[in-house]
Structure formats: C-alpha cells, structure tokens
Amino acid sequence: MIIAVSVMALGAILLGAALGYASIRFRVEGDPLVEKIDAILPQTQCGQCGFPGCRPYAEAISRGEADINQCPPGGEEGVRKLADLLGRDFKALSAEHGEEKAKSVAVIDEQSCIGCTLCIQACPVDAIVGAAKQMHTVVASLCTGCELCVPPCPVDCIHMEALRETAENWRWKYPVFQLEQAA
Amino acid sequence: MSLSTLFRFKGGIKPEAHKDASAGIPIAPAPLPSRLVIPLRQNARATARPLVEAGQRVLKGQIIGAAEGTLATAVHAPTSGLVRAVEMAPVPHPSGLEALCVIIEPDGDERWIDLQPFDHRNASPQRIRDYLRDCGIVGLGGANFPSHIKLTPGEAGIRTLILNGGECEPWITCDDRLMRERAERILGGALIMREITGASHILVGIEDNKPEAVQAMSAAASRLGAEGVTVHAVPALYPAGGEKQLIRVLTGVEIPYGKLGTHFGVQCFNVGTAYAIHRAITCGEPLLSRILTLTGNMARPGNFEVLIGTPIRELLPLADPRPDTDHFLMGGPMMGFALPSLSAPVVKATNCIIAASPALFPPPPPEMPCIRCGACAQVCPAELQPFELYWHARAKNLGKAQEYHVFDCIECGCCAYVCPSRIRLVDYFRYAKGEIWAREREKSAADAARERFEFRNLRTEREKQEKAERLAAKTAAGREAVARAAAAAPATASAPTAATVATASAPQPRAADATKALIQAALDRAKAQKAAVTPRNTDNLTAEQKAEIAEIEARRAKIREMARPHTPPDE
Ligand code: SF4
Ligand code: SF4
Ligand code: SF4
C-alpha cells in the first residue's frame, strides 16, 4: 500500500517536474491566438474597429471583448476567415463601424501641400515622404488606404483615390450563372 | 516516321476539327498596315521599358522596349517608320483594359537594322540566352513564355527536345501550314536548340489529322540527314498539343504542377518558336512577325504572315468576315477568348482569329445543376475532379479548391465541353485561380504593412527615448553652469552684496535660485525662438487665397453635414 502510494507520488512529482521544465523551456512568446487573428486582419491600423490598431483589436477578440465583424477594411472575407478560425458563425459587418469600400490610396495634391508634416506623423506605415516646408507625396505601393492622413491635413489637400483596374491586377470575375427553371 | 511506342494521357475529347476551311491555303504575307501598335506589356509579370519616344524614327528590327525582369524579352519595331506615341492603348486581353504601347507609323521603306548572324557555336550559353532574349523570342504556341528561360538546362540537363506540332485546337492551321511550307527551317531551329542544350534527340509530335505536315517534316528530316530526329504522328485527341500532354504522349514523363520540363530532362517548343530561333541565329532577325489563321465565319479564310502590332481591324478584310459575324475570338474556340476591341493589335500569342456568328457559336444555354455524372472527371487531361473543384469554387471556398489542385487545371475546357448540365466550369476555375493569387498578394501586402508599422513604433519609441536623454543631459549641463556661475560670483565680486551673502550663508535658497535661472533661460530661449519664427502662412493672404479657403471651409461643412447620420427630427 505504502509502496504503491509512494510510487504514484514519485511518478506525479517526476511528471510534474518534467511539465514544469517544459513550460519554461518551450515557452511560446506572446499569445498564439492573437498572432493568428492578427495575421488575418488587414494591418491598415485605421482604428475603425474602435481599437487603436489591428493588434489591439486582435487582443480584444481573443479576450472575447470584441466581436469579429468590426473591421471594415477586412470586409466580409475577413469576417469569414475569423469565423473559421474561431469556430464561430459568420455575421455581416456591423454597420456602426463603417462599410467595406473599394481599396484606395491617398493622393496628395502637390500644388497645395504646405509641407506641415502632419500627415507624415499620422501615417502608420511611413508611406508618405516629405520634410518640413517641402512638398509631400504618398508612395502608392506602400499606402494601405487607412485614411488616417486625411483629417490632419490643414489645407485639405489629401484625398483618397480608388485603385483603378489595370491589366496587372485584373482577374476573372465570379461567373454570372443562370439556372434553368425546372418545369 | 518512327514506330516507337507512344504513351497516352488520360482524358481528352474529340471536338469537330473545322480545319479544312483554312488548312489548304498557303501562307500569304499581310500588307503593311497604316499603323502598328506594339504592346510593351508581355505578361502579368513583365512589361518592357520603352526606349523610344514620340517623334523618333526607328528602323525595322530596332529594339524599342528593353527586357526588364526575369520573364521579360525585348520588344522590337516590326517595320521602319516614325514613332507616333508611347501611350495606353487597347491590347488583346479578355479584360479589354489598356496597356502601354508604342505606336509606329510605317514609312513603307522597310529599312532594316544591320543584320548579323549569331555564332552560337562560339558563344557561352549565357550569351546565347541573352541574345535570344534580346531577339524577343517567346513561345508562339499561345502561352508566350520566354524561350531563353526554357533553354536553361536544369540539374537533370536536357536530353530530349520536343517540337510541338500538335495544334489540337479546332480551326487553327497556322502551325500546320508552317510545317508544310518551311519544314527545313523549323528543323534547323531545332538542331540549333539541340546544340545549345546538348540534348541527344529531337522528337517531333504532330497530330495524325495533319498527314501533309507529318510528311513534310519527315522528308525534311531525311534531307537534313540529322541523327536522332524522329517525327511522330500522335493520335488526334484534344488537348494532345498541350505541352504536358505531348511530353506525356512522346516520352511517358509526367510533369507535376510548378515544375518545368527541364527538371525531367525534356523540353518542349512550338514549331513556330523553332522557326523564329532559326531566323534569329542564322539571319540575326528578331521576332517581328508570326503566322496566324483567319477563319470561322469568313468568306476567304486563310493563313497569313502578319507583323506583330498590326491592328486586328485592319487584318480582317483579308479574309472578309460574313455580315452575320457578331464577335471575334482570339485563339481557338476551346481556350481562346472573345476580343473586347478590334483595335487591339496582333501580339506574339495571336495564333488565330475566329469570326463567330450565332449559327457557328450559339450563345451558351443556361446552366443546370451539377448531377455529379462524373463525365468531366473522365475527360480531364490533368486528372482532376472538375465537379468537386466547381463545387468549391462556386462556394468561394478557395482553400478547398486549392486542396483539389485547381492550379493543375490547364483551362483546356474539356470538362465544360462534355458537361451535360452545360456548366461553364472553366470560368469558375479561372475565377478561383485569380482570386487565390489576389489574396496571396493582399496577404503579403498586409504582412509588409505590419512590418512597417512595427518598425515605425520602434523608431518613435527610440526617438522619444533619445530625446528624453538629450533633455536630461541638457538640464544637467544647465544646472551645472548655473551652479558654477553662482559659485564664481562671490569670488569675482569685490564687495559682497546682500544677496551673495545670503546665498553663501543659506545653501537651500541657492538651489531655488538656480532653478529660477534655468526657467528664465528657457523662457528667453522660447521668446527668441518665437521672434525668429516667420509669420504663419495663413497671415498675409491675398484675397484670392482667402476666397479659396472660404470655399474649402464651405465644402468641409457640407461634407460634415452629409456625414452626419440622418436622424428624423422627431427622435
Ligand atoms: S498615406 Fe494616408 S491612407 Fe495611406 S497608409 Fe499612410 S495614412 Fe493611411
Ligand atoms: S460533367 Fe457537369 S454535371 Fe457531370 S459531374 Fe461534371 S460538372 Fe457535374
Ligand atoms: S479545364 Fe481544367 S478541370 Fe476542366 S478538363 Fe481541362 S484541366 Fe481538367
């Protein structure tokens, strides 16, 4: 009896020690769920979800404090992916956070730019080049279309331009199908 | 003709060939058009950099677009003349979108550049490949893949060269005519490629519904007396002219998705490409023209040698489309597409223009639900399960579509051809592929944005810290200076004043004084700075500017008004 108990106790201690060691040795930095959610979010850092950026929103989702349909730039597709990842049901984008728009980029009207650098400070991805009292311009290939640079501009010279379809980004559309009526 | 064993590929269909309309008509040169539109865009990943500008005179064969990027080849002026513009113009693409083109007005003199044959025997393989790239040689079967890349031997080396004379799509006869009329030069090109790659044999695969071409090629092979060249008549079965299918039939080798023939020691070239390589090496001529078939609902169908860049509209009178033609297809009826605009030019991929009338190509009947009969899976040459793919693509379940190997689909259209429910399966697969690529691009863009955002945060953090450190250092330096000044004051003053006495006697107030001095210094600095600043740009405005500002303010107010959620007044 005593032997049996002590064998079990010893086993428990050994396994416990092994587990304890493993939890230190193989510790995962950060929350893997947050990483996975963050990987789905579009990284515009626009704050339309009500959080100061994509990662804070990802954290809020993983804590269960935010719903999955608050990211307009991610669109329906993003909601679908989040629903898939979290095993939840798909729901439409919540209207209060805005609606899905065509992808666009910011364009600075270089005639009116006064070189105040306010837009540079607003851009989360450093997509604007310029210097104090010099003309600024947006590097279109880096711009995520978050619109954060639009309100700070004191002379209102930034506007958003929807991306045009070119032969480079064109793709086959979803087929329009027509089903024959069963008699 | 050799009687060695042939293999077969799975699936395939036998659509009506319709080749008789144009197969008997010899290749005729097309007249010089009134203008040439040469697209600089070559494929989704390569656009040549323009080297000419409007108003410049060019010679026939002069390079007008430089190859940039791995998948690019040079672009040439197809005739001598005047560059009218370098601008966006319609190109033959299913989207009907425009791309950057060089527009040349021919002068009718056909003045060539200096033509020099290329001595490939004494050139390094890299030199040869660069030369072919600068001659603009691409696959003329329709895919337009640059030939110099295909001639780069992989680890396995190239043992077998295959000449593709399959031409399995209905209606098209340009390769057939080329083989009948210029067999020796095609084989000459193949022999040059054999020397370049060090391959041991050359297999020519021709569908057995082109006996004249088989005969012409066999005769040319025996006339040239080259060893290891065999001509094979392969059973006519669409898509036997598909690269992977022909390789399979002739060698039994199956090439998986994402691999090139070079990985397995085989490489396949269209007969037209071999002909172009022959011209490039022996005459120094870049690829300026191609053979194409004008057929379908036309009074005088035929095969023509056409300059690249000839607007399709100017070409059509050669074959005289019948009045009931309602649209034109580029390529064959299986894999081609309806041309959105007839001002689009002939490009290197244009092997055929088919005039379509409602009688010849009736509009597709409405789709019916898939009954899972499996007919599509039986004919799929890529051995896919099209009905499963269709299911997932239609549900936009792209991950699943990829799992079912949608990228293996060669878009041959066999499945849609046999489907009893008349589902346009290929459209769904094209959609799925495009969408998957687009998502892939979006994903990498998001990843790049995340990286930049994190770097920016890091930088702001660092800058803040550096600023704080600098400030701390400055404050410390300031304190020290004031303290030193205070300590020096009693020594320099000849008669100690009440204040210095007080400071000397009480250390506490002295520290307070130092702080006060610091603040004063800062205030002075701020004042000086303020004085130095020029008036704000909103001061000293002209009346015009003021009016403009007022206008902008009004616009803003209006936008704010519009942006406000509309609530009924009674709520
Ligand atoms: S340029 Fe403007 S819209 Fe574009 S990423 Fe920067 S802040 Fe956003
Ligand atoms: S051939 Fe058409 S109906 Fe039959 S299984 Fe395939 S998709 Fe379905
Ligand atoms: S189009 Fe694609 S799925 Fe259909 S038969 Fe051809 S390869 Fe198979």
Residue spans of the domains in chain A: they are: 32-97, 102-164
Confidence of residue A180 (pLDDT cuts 50, 70, 90): low
A140 CA to chain B: closest CA distance, Å?
12
In short, whether B138's Cβ falls inside 6 Å of ligand 3 is: no
pLDDT tens-digit profile, chain B (571 residues): 444 678 888 888 999 888 888 888 999 999 999 999 999 987 777 888 999 999 999 999 999 999 888 888 999 999 999 999 999 999 998 888 888 999 999 998 888 998 888 888 888 888 998 999 999 999 988 778 888 888 887 777 888 999 999 888 999 999 999 999 999 999 999 999 998 888 888 999 999 899 999 999 999 999 888 888 999 999 989 888 888 899 999 998 888 877 777 788 888 999 999 999 999 999 999 999 999 999 999 999 999 999 999 999 999 999 989 999 999 999 989 999 999 989 999 999 999 999 999 988 888 888 899 999 999 999 999 999 999 999 999 988 888 898 899 999 999 999 999 999 999 999 999 999 999 998 888 889 889 999 999 999 899 999 999 999 999 998 888 888 888 887 776 655 444 444 444 444 445 556 667 767 777 887 787 777 766 655 555 666 778 888 888 888 888 787 777 766 554 444 3
Q: What is the pLDDT of residues B71-118, one digit of tens each?
A: 889 999 999 999 999 999 999 988 888 889 999 999 988 889 988 888
Residue B418 CA: nearest ligand 2 atom is 1
Give the class (CATH, top level) of B370-488.
Answer: mainly alpha
Q: Are the beta carbons of B156 and B267 closer than 8 angstroms?
A: no
Question: Residue A100 — φ and ψ, nearest 5°?
Answer: -70, 130
Specify the CATH number of the domain A102-164: 3.30.70.20
Residue of B nearest to A96 (CA): B565
pTM, two decimals, is 0.78
User: Residue ranges of the alpha helices (H) in B204-348?
Assistant: 211-224, 243-251, 271-282, 312-315
Rounded CA Rg of chain A: 25
Give CA–CA dist A102/A174, Å, rounded. 17
How far apart are the CA of B197 and the nearest CA of chain A, in angstroms? 33
Torsion of CA A119, A122, A126, A131, to 10 degrees: 40
- For residue A105, the CA-to-ligand 2 centroid distance in Å is 43
With contact defined as beta carbons under 8 Å apart, do A63 and A34 qualify?
Answer: no
Are B160 and B203 in contact, with CB atoms under 8 Å apart? yes
DSSP H stretches of helix in B158-255 = 174-181, 183-197, 211-224, 243-251
Q: How far apart are CA B423 and CA B386, in angstroms?
A: 11
Q: Which residues of A touch B99 (CB under 8 A)?
A: 166-167
Taking the CA of residue A138 as reference, the ligand 1 atom at the shortest distance is 1
Cα dihedral sign, B76-B82-B86-B88: negative
Give, as one character, the DSSP assignment of residue B564: S
- Establish whether the linkage from the previous residue to B50 is cis, with ω within 30° of 0: no
Provide the token pair at B368: 């019916």
CA distance B411 to B414: 8
- What is the Cα–Cα distance from B368 to A182, expressed in whole angstroms? 9
Residue among B147, B167, B166, B224 at smallest CA distance from B191: B224
3-class DSSP state for residue B233? strand
Contact B434 A171 (CB under 8 A): yes
Answer yes or no: do B366 and A178 touch at CB < 8 A.
yes
Q: Minimum-distance ligand to the CA of B426?
A: 3
Q: Is B557 on the interface with A (CB under 8 A)?
A: no
Q: Residue A29 in 3-state DSSP?
A: coil
CATH of B20-32+117-353, one of 3.40.50.300, 3.40.50.11540, 3.10.129.10, 3.40.50.1980: 3.40.50.11540
The interface residues of chain B toward chain A in range 528-547, judged by CB-CB distance below 8 A, are: 537
Task: Establish whether residue B48 lines the binding site of ligand 3, counting it when its CB lies within 6 angstroms of any ligand atom.
Answer: no
What count of other Cβ atoms lies within 10 Å of the Cβ of residue B517? Answer: 17
Place of tokens 């520290």: B511
Among A90, A165, A170, pick the best mutation site for testing chain B contact (most B Cβ within 10 A). A170
In chain A, DSSP assigns E strands to 104-108, 128-129, 137-138, 158-162
Residue B489 CA to chain centroid, in angstroms? 79
Q: For A79-137, how does the pLDDT look when each residue is reduced to its tens digit (9 = 90+)?
A: 988 998 888 888 888 888 888 888 889 999 988 888 888 999 899 998 999 888 888 89
A7 alpha carbon – ligand 1 mean position (Å) = 65
Q: Which of B231, B154, B135, B167 is nearest to B198 (CA)?
A: B154
Q: Which CATH entry fits the domain spanning A32-97: 3.30.70.580, 3.40.50.150, 1.20.120.1080, 1.10.15.40?
A: 1.10.15.40
User: B536 to chain A: which residues are within 8 Å by CB?
Assistant: none
Pairing of strands B289-296, B352-356: parallel
For chain B, give every residue range classified as CATH 1.10.1060.
370-488
Closest CA to B164 of B210, B120, B118: B210
* Strand pairing report for B81-90 and B57-58: antiparallel
